[in-house]
Amino acid sequence: MIEKTLVLIKPDGVQRALSGEIIKRFENVGLKIVGMKMAWIDEELGAKHYADVRVRKGDKVFNAVLKLITMGPVIAMVLEGIDAVEIVRKMCGPTEPKSALPGTIRGDYAHVSYAYSDTVGEAVRNVVHASGSKEEAKTEIDLWFNEKEIHDYPSVHDLHILHKKVELRKK
């Protein structure tokens, strides 16, 4: 029930200064950031992250997403919460921004279609990546973070949402 998931604010989201707004949305629903870093990733990490895209969609799409994910810095986050994978996916909206409803991250901050992206020969600029399943989340978190970069700490949500007795530090 309590699970972790990976979210990437892609270079297009970072460049457009949307990071704070996106992070705020996740925190506002009670998801806890247990890992976060900014990195300008290289092709090796990008290729590992999108290895399934090459298998499912071929080299053309793979090369386009690899170019997008390596064009600038990425903010990588591990979020924790009840049904975190499903909640985050719902908040992000469909991969194609044109199909995303207003109120979702992609619906509010992107509008590009697959057809347009194909026309200009680029990957869909959809601002964020979110793990698609619990298994994918585990694999992606292990790819992006080591154990020392994932933190366990009490938050107000532990008390209010999870109904856990928590000891908040006093100064």
Question: From the centroid of its chain, how far is CA 69?
Answer: 12
DSSP letter at 98?
G
> Which residues touch 135 (CB under 8 Å, ≥6 apart)?
none
Q: How many Å apart are CA 127 and CA 100, to the nearest integer? A: 12
160 part of the active site: no
Q: Where are the alpha helices (DSSP H) in 2-133?
A: 11-15, 19-28, 43-49, 51-57, 59-69, 84-92, 105-109, 114-120
**Is the Cβ–Cβ distance between 131 and 90 less than 8 Å?**
no
Name the active-site residue from 49, 129, 157, 160. 129
**Is the Cβ–Cβ distance between 122 and 60 less than 8 Å?**
no
Q: Is 114 helix (H, G, I), strand (E, B) or coil?
A: helix
Q: How many Å apart are CA 108 and CA 97, to the nearest integer? A: 9
**Could you give the residue numbers annotated as active site?**
129
